Amino acid sequence: MMREKIKNPVVVLYKRETSDSYAVSITDGSQNMHDGLLMASVSPDEADNSFAVFAMVGYYMAAEIEALRKRVSELETKTSAEEAPAPSVAITLPANLRSEDLR
């Protein structure tokens, strides 16, 4: 059981390839799943689990977080690939210089 609130919670997700489930790890600032202070395995079908509702909610939350992270990454990539418009430059001639003098 945890004694203190996690100060810098990071949700680390791992989508299992062999089953329709996620391993979810909540760390205190780490991106490493193995540093988890809270860990759970969640899937959409937990009929034999007494905490089935929580496991199913966790599964859909993990799937949504994964989709949102992917979308954010795509948008960041797209934004960085677009070129910023060239800055406009204004040239001010000295008061005693006429445009005819530049020819």
**Nearest alpha carbon to residue 26 among 37, 42, 15:** 37
**pTM, full prediction:** 0.59
Q: Which residues contact 26 (CB under 8 A, 6 or more apart)?
A: 6, 9, 10, 11, 12, 36, 37, 38, 39
Cβ contact 25:38 at 8 Å: yes
pLDDT (tens digit per residue) in 53-67 = 777 778 888 888 999
Span between the terminal Cα atoms of the chain, in Å? 83
Which residue has better confidence, 24 or 95?
24
